[in-house]
Amino acid sequence: MNARKPRRMEPRRSPRPPDRALKPTRLFVTAFAIVLGDQVVKKVVTTVMELGESVDFIGSVVRFTRTANTGAAFGMMRGRSLVFIVISAIASVAIAACWRQISRMRPLEQTAFGLVMGGALGNLIDRVRLGAVVDFINIGVGDLRWPYFNVADSAITIGVTILAFHLLFRQAPTREADAE
């Protein structure tokens, strides 16, 4: 009798394009779309609203109130614009410099890096051009309100959340995959 050795099933791997085929399109298109959308919305807000003016958007749950934020997200560390200019610039340059590695990631992760980069650049433009970030979205009920934020802040938060979820919950490689 001929005993056949069972074939070992190899884990399926998603094909990785060779370096010459890598395209930074998803990363940079996402970042560009966020910067463009953020700046257009902020231009509309600064054109139609005075500083401190509020407009209820969805009842009083979502309210647009034009503010100027010289600090970090949610108004923390006010008056430190230079620090945040440097941080935003470094983060954006670092993401752009890593485009080859990011291009090898799954599309959702590429998009997440694009969201972070676009958000950082959107707020960076405000800090350089205006000396403060234009925040205007305010959500809450009655006196229980979330701090003011903008499109760029939302993009950064969503991008970082996707990346954190990926890091925390991705499947670890199997021993068989490690041995290859």
Catalytic position from the list 38, 56, 126, 135: 135
Catalytic position from the list 38, 126, 153, 178: 153
Burial class for 42, CB neighbours closer than 10 Å (0-12, 13-18, 19+):
buried
Burial class for 45, CB neighbours closer than 10 Å (0-12, 13-18, 19+):
buried
Report the run of H or E that residue 136 belongs to, with start and end: strand 133-141
Which is it for the CA torsion 117, 34, 111, 63, positive or negative?
positive
Give the residue among 134, 34, 35, 40 at the shortest CA–CA distance from 81: 134
Catalytic site residue 38? Answer: no
Catalytic site residue 135? Answer: yes
Could you give the residue numbers annotated as active site? Answer: 135, 153
